[in-house]
Chain A
Amino acid sequence: METIQFIDLTVSSTIILFLVGFVGGMVSGFIGSGGAFVLTPAMMSMGVPAIVAVASNMAHKFPKALVGAYKRNKYGQVDIKLGVVMGIFAEIGVLIGKNIMVDIRAAFGPTGTNLYVSFVFVVVLAIVGSIVLKDGLMEKRGLGKSMDPSPKKLPALAQWVRRFQIPGTMIHFKSIDAKISFLILAPLGIATGMLAATIAVGGFIGVPAMMYFVGLPALTASATELVIAFVMGMGGSILYAMEGAVDIRLAMIILAGSLFGIQIGAIGTTYVKDYVVKFVMAAIMLMVLVSRFFYIPGYLSQLGRIAPIKESTINVLNGIGEGTLFFALVFGAVMILRALYTGIREHRITEVDATPLPALASRENFSRFLVASDGSDFSAAAVREAFGLAQKCASKVYVMSLVATGTEYGGLGQSILKQEITQAQTLLDDIQKDAVSLGLSCETLVINGQVVDHEIISQAERLHTDLIVMGRRGRRGLARMMLGHATANVIGKSHYNVLVVPRAAHIDGRHMVLATDGSRHADRAAITAGELAKKCRMPITVVSVVEADAQADLRSKAEQTVQRVVDYLKREKITVEGHVMLGRPDAKIIEVAQEKNADLIVVGSHGLTGLERILVGSTTERILNGTSTAVLVVKEG
């Protein structure tokens, strides 16, 4: 076997590789389809042998797939079992594909593999590019069919697959709640792996296969493809690395650029219509196809399969090939950046017009609520109680959902970001319908960002809301066992009052327990509690707790504090009683809430530091974690 040569890294080749990675990443993110069909030929055009180009491409992709699969699994979008089963078969496909490459290389030298890879590229891109172009044209004419199989009607192929029952080969998959024979999955997985080993784009087969053969929704198929991409990508990279074919320098420089590009591309899709994405995808694919096509006569001539072509003619053909590829890259980059620039500019103009400032009002006005929803049961409780409270206070409700940004958007098949945004919007549309049926004024927002609490606080500031309503444990709840990470951060980092609603809590207006320790923030809590009690006609029990071994003067001070708050609330014409209790503050407050059958506990909280635990205040946090009653945390403001 001929020695595998790595190219020399010069300043110019490094810059070119970075830019190729950047554009490749941008294209990946935009069309959600690997981008390897841009990266592999681009590396080959720079003189990188085909086997090194494919191997290095795989090595830069599999860690991204791992991060993506982990994150998507947290959102419940991944069928791990299906991904692993398909991934194992794909691995077999990679092994076969890699051996074909190595054998071709042994028999015909690097020109042989270059020809083989180029040929597969031309065939695959011609097929996929034509299908995408046809889809795009149909959609533009309004005749397009949704890529997502209808949840009610399973594709005919998937129905047939599920009827294909061979005892001993059936595997149950949770995402579809059905059994499928691994004899069906094996050829699909192997084909995915073989294609990945040959041109580093397996998703062309994997995603449509899972949608139409297995019957997965597009989003689950794309997310599950990340598991396959990781399993086979890592296995494939190890196999190629064993041959010494992975040039880690190339892979990492491409990675540097591609990670910058992916998010631009993925975000770009949200500003254009679906058919525009398909046109760009088809145009790039067909241009890359043409560029590869020009290299084939040279390879055939070098292998002696056709009459010899003059060196100068081969150079001209290669030059045309390089020029076409360069044009495809520039075209892709310009189209995506243009779409993004125009989209963002138009969006900003409409956004400014769409958000008038509210009238000046006291922060105890309870006129604008912001509810964070992620579709989980935890946030469903928050939405339900926010609506109930909004009816009593005649408030406007904003419901937001956050779609997190990630690097997995280059991850194959379809653009996950766009699908996720659509899914989030569908969820919010249902919530909005509920709100309207209750006679509420409700607006919904799908926000894209990295840090959940940051985005929630930013929206609260932008919308001038006076209450944030959140579930106690959201999707990031695994990070903290009880109080959700995002909820704790919002309480800790914002100046907004936060209503934390446990899943089983119902605020019916029965009774309110107000905790006070005489501090400024407790006074603020008393004023807020009073305003809310008037709107909801709720009686209040004011509680101050001192340690059991506290000195007499502390108890007497607590009694004065309670009396002061009781007097204030009586002046506000609220039914109120007050108690001083001995014991641990959080335990006693929860105990009183249970005794009084209270449906709301109100506590004050202070300050702003990054350390959420200290900040939320240990008593407040223990109350939040220990009670199944809704808790209103009043911030000093």
Chain B
Amino acid sequence: MNMIKSGVDRKKNALVTTLLLGMASATLYLLLFLYSESLTHVATLIRQGHKIYVVIPIGGALIFSFVHGAFTGRFWDLLGLKAKKQVG
């Protein structure tokens, strides 16, 4: 029975991690939509010569990619989508 329990525990841990990453990702996207107009305004400011604001799109791209990438990677794994197993 312990073995079954250990399998369940591992799946539970994987689920919790995936959910936490999913929530972090969802929060980022919520912020993206809430501040949608400000982000368009940032691009206008850059065009007007305030080049320092370039850090917002570039930094944003990095943060979104790390968080959402970690979430989606675990998401499909959790659902059991795996490459074809090669058996020799």
Contacts and interface: CB of A to CB of B under 8 A. Distances in A.
Contact of A246 (B43, B44, B77): B43
B73 A457 contact: no
A246 B73 contact: no
B58 A454 contact: no
Interface string B58-88: 1011101110110011111100011111111
A59 interface: yes
A461 B86 contact: no
Interface string B39-71: 110111011000100101110111011101100
A417 interface: yes
A368 B6 CA distance: 20
Interface residues of A, number: 72
B7 A354 contact: no
B60 to A, nearest CB: 5
Interface string A421-434: 10011001100100
B66 A403 contact: no
B27 interface: no
Contacts, number: 174
Interface string A350-369: 01001000000000000000
- The bracket for how many chain B residues form the interface is 35 or more
B20 to A, nearest CB: 14
A425 B72 contact: no
Given A260-B72, A637-B2, A63 B36 contact: no
A4 B48 CA distance: 12
Nearest to B71: A259
Q: Is the interface of B mostly helix, strand, loop or mixed?
A: helix
A450 B77 contact: yes
Interface string A459-483: 0010000000000000000000000
Nearest to A459: B85
Nearest to A432: B88
A72 interface: no
Contacts of B83: 266-267, 270, 403, 405, 417, 421, 448
A234 B58 contact: yes
B43 A237 contact: no
B1 to A, nearest CB: 10
Contact of A66 (B62, B73, B74): B62
A495 B6 contact: yes
Nearest to A458: B7
A344 B9 CA distance: 26
A451 B42 CA distance: 39
B47 A4 contact: yes
19 contacts: A244-B43, A248-B60, A251-B61, A252-B61, A255-B61, A256-B29, A259-B69, A347-B84, A347-B85, A405-B73, A406-B73, A407-B65, A421-B83, A428-B86, A454-B14, A457-B7, A493-B9, A494-B6, A608-B9
Interface of A: 3-4, 6, 9, 59-60, 62-64, 66-67, 234, 237-238, 241-249, 251-253, 255-256, 259-260, 262-264, 266-267, 270-271, 343-344, 347, 351, 354, 403, 405-407, 417, 421, 424-425, 428-429, 432, 443-451, 454, 457-458, 461, 493-495, 608, 610, 637
